[in-house]
């Protein structure tokens, strides 16, 4: 399906960046979940990249195709119809503005709560037209992706030698888990060709605050991740696989052994990009601290103790590109980092 952009002209001054062309990352860690050594490969990927691709997963392709079709049908509605599901509160429909602190992008999106006990009125509006079809597609997809996310977290626990092995996954399984689901649409931008090699930002650089994020996108490129040396690299799209991001919370829980990955999305001049992201977060009251079993006898925590609610509240008051964990690092670590 070809989706025509319904977004009005964006304020280019705040969404264009001059960049050197990013290199293409041809060595993305690819984890086969059926491989007996997958936990070892995941550990290495989390330590070196904070990012990896999952293949041979259990999510049915028909669930993916059904949800993408429903998402495109929604995003292809007249702007006035889509606006009935917005503005986001934070759930619901949004376009161009990302958060409330001045960030913008060439994007429109739907943010949905994955907790059935918490229903947003904006969410109900989204499913007003075809509630049975759209909502069932969302639920099928999320439930399948959750199972895969649990498996990934338990493999991480195995690799870290954490007991019990559901130490991480139970935080997402908890009925009070503060997880959410986002459908992003990056319309084609014909004006991009006139920007003379500059990039139009679809979604600005950031890390994800949660424990992990599970991303799936169509075959349109645009995703980039930042390497340890600060170089941005393009991630080749793979519509049959999933990409896993280490989040800020998991970085803290491993006391910095894993690093949350900084990433962004750039617009495409010809093709629409659709992505689906499950953000796996713990309950709001959960204390985010390094796991005791990972701490050596002489090892000190690099971070102050805080709850997920405290970190989430702080993160959403910041700009996308801010180093959000900086406020929660202990001063001794901050001094060492500067030196």
Distances in whole angstroms, Cα of residue 304 to Cα of each of 261, 321, 330, 338: 21, 21, 6, 18
**SS3 label, residue 277:** strand
Encoding tokens for residue 324?
């959000």
Residue 77 is encoded by which pair of tokens? 């509605």
- What gap in Å lies between CA 157 and CA 77, rounded to an integer? 43
Burial class (CB in 10 A: 0-12, 13-18, 19+), 55: middle
Which of 6, 32, 26 is closest to 151 using CA atoms? 32
Residue with tokens 């006035």: 80
- Asked whether the beta carbons of 263 and 51 are under 8 A apart, the reply is yes
Q: Are 263 and 245 in contact (CB under 8 A)?
A: yes
Q: Which residues are catalytic?
A: 273
Report the distance separating Cα 231 and Cα 93, nearest Å: 33
The pairing of beta strand 232-234 with beta strand 23-24: parallel
Hey, CA dihedral for 117, 123, 129, 130, is it positive or negative? negative
The C-alpha atoms of residue 59 and residue 148 are separated, in whole angstroms, by: 7
User: How far apart, in whole angstroms, are the C-alpha atoms of residue 245 and residue 153?
Assistant: 12
Alpha carbons 262 and 321: distance in angstroms, whole number: 9
């Amino acid at each position: 399906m070809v989706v025509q952009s319904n977004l009005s002209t964006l304020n280019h001054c705040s969404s264009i960046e001059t960049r050197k062309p990013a290199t293409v990352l041809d060595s993305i860690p690819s984890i086969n979940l059926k491989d007996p050594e997958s936990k070892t490969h995941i550990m290495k990927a989390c330590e070196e990249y904070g990012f990896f691709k999952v293949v041979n997963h259990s999510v049915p392709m028909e669930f993916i195709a059904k949800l993408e079709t429903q998402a495109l049908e929604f995003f292809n509605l007249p702007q006035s119809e889509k606006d009935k599901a917005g503005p986001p509160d934070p759930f619901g429909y949004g376009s161009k503005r990302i958060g409330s602190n001045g960030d913008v992008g060439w994007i429109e999106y739907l943010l949905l709560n994955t907790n059935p006990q918490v229903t947003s009125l904006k969410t109900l509006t989204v499913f007003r037209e075809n509630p049975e079809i759209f909502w069932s597609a969302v639920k099928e997809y999320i439930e399948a992706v959750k199972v895969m996310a649990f498996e990934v977290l338990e493999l991480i626990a195995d690799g870290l030698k954490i007991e019990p092995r559901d130490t991480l996954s139970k935080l997402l399984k908890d009925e009070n888990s503060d997880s959410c689901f986002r459908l992003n649409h990056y319309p084609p931008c014909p004006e991009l060709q006139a920007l003379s090699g500059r990039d139009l930002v679809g979604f600005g650089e950031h890390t994800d605050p949660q424990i992990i994020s599970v991303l799936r996108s169509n075959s349109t490129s645009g995703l980039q991740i930042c390497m340890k040396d600060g170089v941005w690299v393009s991630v080749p799209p793979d519509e049959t696989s999933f990409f896993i991001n280490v989040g800020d919370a998991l970085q803290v829980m491993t006391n910095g052994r894993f690093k949350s990955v900084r990433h962004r999305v750039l617009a495409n001049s010809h093709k629409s990009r659709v992505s689906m992201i499950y953000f796996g977060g713990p309950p709001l009251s959960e204390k985010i601290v390094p796991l005791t079993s990972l701490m050596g006898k002489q090892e000190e925590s690099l971070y102050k103790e805080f709850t997920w609610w405290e970190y989430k509240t702080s993160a959403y008051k910041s700009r996308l590109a801010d180093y959000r964990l900086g406020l929660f690092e202990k001063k001794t670590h901050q001094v060492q980092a500067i030196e």
